[in-house]
Amino acid sequence: MDDACRVASRIGIPFYVLNYQDFFQRTVIDYFCGAYLNGRTPNPCVECNRVVKFGRLLKLADALDADYLATGHYARVCQDRRTGRYVLKKGIDAEKDQSYFLYPLTQEQLSRALFPLGEKTKEETRELARSFGLDVCDKPASQDICFLGNGGYRRFLAERFPESLCPGRITDTHGQVLGQHRGIAFYTVGQRKRLGIGGGEPLYVLALDRGTRTVVVGGREELQKSQILVKRVNWIAFGEPPDRMEVGVRIRYRQHELGATVRARDGGSAVVAFTSPQAAAAPGQSAVFYDGDVVVGGGIIDQ
């Protein structure tokens, strides 16, 4: 906050401090913890963009009679002259592209979004800040989820939700008990390390059963899936999606795009069929669909 205040003073713009602590707790942190407690792997940055940055902050923009909301995301937005729809695109800097986290934005939100860094690389941004005499030009980039601190999500959950430390069984797909775990919230689909099962071939988490508090594990070949069901899909590129389309899909941030066919279904869901089976599509994470640089849409992996 102090850094932002100094930058605002240096370039001569008003600076406001908004206390969203309680709102952030209810909408982002509670969602994050609840997902893990239910055996899912959440993406809090997506939810923060949806409800805080482009939800609550846009309401503030209205109160200030501001036409646009500018953020530091490495992404781009433009209007398709043929359809009139606003289109979300990847940032120019492939290493810093953050379009994956912005797929839930509506047409109204995109029409008022400005991403001035989307046309620049990270180094060009630093050079620009340096030329303005801003002492944040060499500030280290943030890497992890902002509210976790140094302990990671496991410590965060254990401190705030002791009930997450509820042990249960680790079994194979045939129900044979292989060991004990200390709480399904500490595991995610695709996880290999810290399973506490020694010897034999490498094992991966295949599924989490909240009802029986069971962690199901198996070999890598059992982790491979040909298709996934995605819910709460937001289609950016068009109002009514075609029945079938060929796209590139990211099922994790910083993952290369996977070839797939997406079939839209009723109720805001879609089935993604991969060109070749893929591992570790964790329920709760986001699947985002791309056509080149364009974000076609995306949603939450359900199963």
Distances in Å between the alpha carbon of 274 and those of 177, 236, 252, 258, 300?
A: 32, 21, 15, 7, 16
DSSP state of 296: E
Q: How far apart are CA 278 and CA 182, in angstroms?
A: 28
Catalytic residue among 5, 78, 146, 166: 146
Catalytic residue among 5, 33, 45, 48: 48
Buried b (16+ CB within 10 A) or exposed e, 127-143: eebeeeebeeeeeeeee
Contacts of 243 (CB under 8 A, 6+ apart): 263, 264
Examine the residue annotation and report whether 146 is marked as an active-site residue of this protein.
Answer: yes
**Token output for 226:** 């040909």
Contacts of 54 (CB under 8 A, 6+ apart): 69, 105, 109, 113
| Position 238, amino acid | F
Residues with catalytic roles:
48, 146
